[in-house]
Amino acid sequence: MRRSLTRIWLAACAVGLLAGATPVLADDARRGQPLTEWQDLSPEQQRVLGQFRGRWDRMPPEQQQALLRGAQRWESLSPEQRERVNERAEQWRNLSPEEKQRVRERAERFRELPPQEQQRLREEYRRYRESPPGQGQPERKRGQDEASGEDDRGHGRDRKDKADKQDKPDR
């Protein structure tokens, strides 16, 4: 359960990081932001943003600015924080398209909650993460949601039951 919830939480965080780099499509003239040429970036910025090199000069200024802010945040992270971000990105890449969509939907529902409820859920999750396994955590089978009968990947009880039967040899 803890591992599954952690995986979803990490994936949601990755979605948040990726959403921060999403371009705001607007009229360049209205925004008034100058285009930043690739050669004007510092060597460190070029290293961090290397995957965008081929298309950098064609990007709208708003997208460039969003990516530069992301690069600046990246540069400010400790090695441990960078490793955690890399792990989350890897977990995101390993999700199926359906799982990614469910994470996006959950993140959207979370953003629609009142700030007090968001804070309550963050605090609840923090306590859950910090509690020892099995202590102060609801008893559930492998990440199963009691109300819906779905596990944290959206799979129902029937699917889990079939998997359990396949794992057990016939006697």
| Closest by CA position to 102, among listed 167, 25, 15 | 15
Q: Cα separation of 23 and 26, whole Å? A: 9
Q: Which residues of 21-42 are buried (b: 16+ CB within 10 A; e: fewer)?
A: eeeeeeeeeeeeeeebebeebe
Q: Cα separation of 128 and 133, whole Å? A: 9
User: How is residue 50 annotated by DSSP?
Assistant: G
Amino acid at the residue 114: P
The pLDDT of residue 129: 87
The pLDDT of residue 145: 44
Mean pLDDT (10-residue bins), the chain, 171 residues: 53 51 44 75 90 91 93 92 93 95 95 95 92 67 42 42 44 41
The pLDDT of residue 93: 94
pTM: 0.48
Cβ neighbours of 151 (radius 10 Å):
19
**What are the residue ranges spanned by the domains of the chain?**
2-112
The pLDDT of residue 23: 47
